Amino acid sequence: MPDYDSLHKQSIDYPESFWGNVAEELLWFRPWDRVLEWKYPYARWFIGGQTNIVYNALDRHLKNNNADKLALIWASQDNQEKKYTYRQLNEEVSKFANGLKSIGIRKGDKVAIYLPRIPEQFIAMLGCLKIGAVHSVIYSGFSAEALKSRIEDVQAKALICSNAYPYGKKTVESFKNVKEALKDSKTVKDIIVVKRTETNIEDVDEASVDPKKNYRFHWWSDLVSKQDTVCSTAIMDANDIAFILYTSGSTGKPKGVIHSHGGYQVGIYYTLKVSFDIGSEDIFWSTADAGWITGHSYMLYSPLLNGITTFIYEGTPTYPDIEIWWKLIEKYKITKFYTAPTAIRSLMKFGEEPIKKYDLSSLKILGSVGEPINPEAWLWYQKNIGHSELPIIDTWWQTETGMFMINPLPYTKSKPGSAFKPFFGVDADVVDEKGVSLAPTKSMSSAPGASQRLLESSKNMGKQGFLVIKKPWPAMLLDVFNNPQRYKETYFEKIKIAKTKKQDSFSDFCYFTGDSAKIDEDGYFWIVGRNDDVIKVSGHRLGSAELESAFVANPKVAEAAVIGKPDEVKGESIKAFIILKQGVEPSDELKKELTLQVRMQIGPIATPDEIEFVEKLPKTRSGKIMRRILKAQELGQPIGDVSTLDD
Ligand code: PRX
């Protein structure tokens, strides 16, 4: 076991040489002139360098004899299977990329992808990057409304979607959402439709001939079958945009988080490699969806950058039955398995018997992401899935960070419930509102036997504060699309850095994560949760303001306030407090109507768990709803400072 702390210190003392060395493991069309430039509030990595994520994710493996290795295995929920070697995947991606070119998509154009978890979702993403187009993946569970607002914000020229798709017992007719979203779209000129099921074809066909439509229609199979299997990979500047992914923040409108080709690939490549001890024979299964950042970074791009096999299951954890995950691990000999605490907690309910039927001995490392993993779930995961011994890599990161930021390594000593320490090259801290560190000093642990004791308990905890990152890291977001002001305010203006801080080249760098955390005497980080108005439901990010605006879109609602409440399985559940317009009577019917309203505006993931009709909401004198007070009251906690409360 190498001395983690001294290796880590070296990496953050010399971030440029650290990340520069990592970047040399990848291919570049042109080497960079400078590793890093920081000019408040933007960090730019590998300046002058030219590359493309696809150049490293596909082309590199064709050159180094990995062409016939499996890149992607897809298992459908109805027992089909598709396997692609790196060569085959490259051919499919090239055909699709040529298809995009044939309809006029060029470098820098934005392409929206609204697909379920099928191989075309990944082929489409890679195809866009191959020609330098920018993809924006929209989660297939989002409603027509949510789809429309994202398409419009990103100004997508093309949309890739499916006619319908199976989801458990249901068939989701996603094309209906597409038609609705595109009704008066001024940006989308072409749509490419994958036929995933034999249902609702008439509906889709009708769209293809509808003279009123303002876009051209293509079936994916028709477009792609005409294309050549060779397509050159576009040469991109390291800081060119690879993709934009929308994520909820504390206002009503989701933010378009921008990631690059250069720094992003360096960060995600290396974090997976080291944290999951990647070897050439690995079969990596992330149960995420490409509609979220995990699906981008660690389901698709990083496994391919590392030249391993990524496994994708189309279905949910409980369909066709609650044993499906364990069955698939046995069948495909999965070696590294990465999932979310909410899934673990929901599968815990079924006990250990369903797992015991399967041989999970291929597994070597387990991972967790999306929300804090409670010690009980951690221990259950290790005991039952990890044969009581496998390392659990609890990875703390965000859409904005692009890559893992705080996580253990397979050989470091874990404390269930702690995400360990910052990754190499990541300078994280917990600070107060002036930027002063709240990390405890290491006094007690110098006593003989103390460190062992501390590893077992976490009593000697520093104060809770804001989790911040104090130096740039390569996969950090480039900006918020079309909203640099929001970028600056959200990430760099929340903490006023203390004047006493040492003046070095990064003295004005303090990235605000929006999370609260504590550090214990051993330097272990304990993530508490969000400190802004973002709610995490089953690991999915939803903004309170976004939910509230879905409620007030109903003409019977005057005002709404939404909070997250702790939930045993989902992490958080959604509770809404609603003031009705004068003359409107509260009723259970109305609760149902409002629930439906939110599902229509955002999607099923945003389904409220509780709705309470109230007469008044706590507000500041300037009229802002104080959700903090609602939450404290709801949970029976101290209300705290009420000096700004109006009434
Ligand atoms: O609150 C943290 C929580 O998820 C947020 C980021 O959400 P999102 O951008 O959707 O990305 C999720 C996948 C990376 C964080 O601000 N979070 C994520 N991972 C963890 C976590 N909280 C505790 N422990 C984690 N391992």
Domain ranges of the chain: 2-394, 429-444+457-530, 534-635
Task: Say yes or no: CB of residue 97 within 6 Å of ligand 1.
Answer: no
Phi, psi of 512 (to 5 degrees): -90, 120
2-394 topology per CATH: Rossmann fold (3.40.50)
Query: Residue 451 — pLDDT band, cuts 50, 70, 90?
Result: very low
At what angle are helices 4-13 and 15-23 packed, to 10 degrees?
100
In a 3-state reduction of DSSP, which class is residue 244? strand
Residue identifier of the C-alpha nearest atom 12 of ligand 1: 370
Residue 101 burial (CB < 10 Å; 0-12/13-18/19+)?
A: middle
174 Cα: distance to centroid of ligand 1 (angstroms): 28
533 Cα: distance to centroid of ligand 1 (angstroms): 14
Query: Mapped to the 3 state alphabet, what secondary structure does 376-396 carry?
Result: HHHHHHHHHHCCCCCCEEEEE
> Which neighbouring-strand residues pair with 530?
515
Does residue 521 contact residue 442 with C-beta atoms inside 8 Å? yes
> Which neighbouring-strand residues pair with 43?
38
Task: Say yes or no: CB of residue 564 within 6 Å of ligand 1.
Answer: no
Task: Say yes or no: CB of residue 372 within 6 Å of ligand 1.
Answer: yes
Query: Residue 644 — pLDDT band, cuts 50, 70, 90?
Result: confident
Average pLDDT, rounded, for the chain: 94
- Name the more confident of 589 and 456: 589
Residue 231 identity (one-letter amino acid): C
Query: Residue 645 — pLDDT band, cuts 50, 70, 90?
Result: confident
- Name the more confident of 202 and 68: 68
Task: Say yes or no: CB of residue 150 within 6 Å of ligand 1.
Answer: no
Q: Name 37's Cβ contacts closer than 8 Å, sequence gap at least 6.
A: 43, 44, 47
The CATH architecture annotation of domain 429-444+457-530 reads: Roll (2.30)
- 286-333 per-position pLDDT tens digit: 999 999 999 999 999 999 999 999 999 999 999 999 999 999 999 999
Query: Residue 252 — pLDDT band, cuts 50, 70, 90?
Result: confident
Residue identifier of the C-alpha nearest atom 10 of ligand 1: 541
pLDDT at 646: 81
534-635: CATH, from 3.90.226.10, 3.30.70.240, 3.30.300.30, 3.40.50.300: 3.30.300.30
Peptide bond preceding 116 in cis form (omega within 30 of 0): no
Please choose, from the candidates 473, 115, 100, 58, the residue with its C-alpha nearest in 3D space to the C-alpha of residue 260. 473
Q: What is the pTM of this model?
A: 0.95
Q: What share of the chain is helix, strand, coil (3-state, %, to 5)?
A: 30, 25, 45
455 Cα: distance to centroid of ligand 1 (angstroms): 24
Question: For residue 368, which atom of ligand 1 is closest to its CA?
Answer: 26
CA torsion, points 341, 343, 349, 350, in degrees to nearest 10?
Answer: -140
Distance in angstroms (rounded) separating the CA atoms of residues 441 and 452: 17
Does residue 263 contact residue 475 with C-beta atoms inside 8 Å? yes
% of the chain residues with pLDDT over 90: 88
Query: Residue 499 — pLDDT band, cuts 50, 70, 90?
Result: low
Distance in angstroms (rounded) separating the CA atoms of residues 93 and 90: 5
Assess whether pLDDT exceeds 60 at residue 567: yes
Residue 645 identity (one-letter amino acid): L
Does residue 376 contact residue 390 with C-beta atoms inside 8 Å? no
Task: Say yes or no: CB of residue 543 within 6 Å of ligand 1.
Answer: no
Distance in angstroms (rounded) separating the CA atoms of residues 74 and 328: 11
Pocket test for ligand 1, best of 292, 371, 511 (most atoms within 8 A of CB): 371
Does residue 382 contact residue 390 with C-beta atoms inside 8 Å? yes
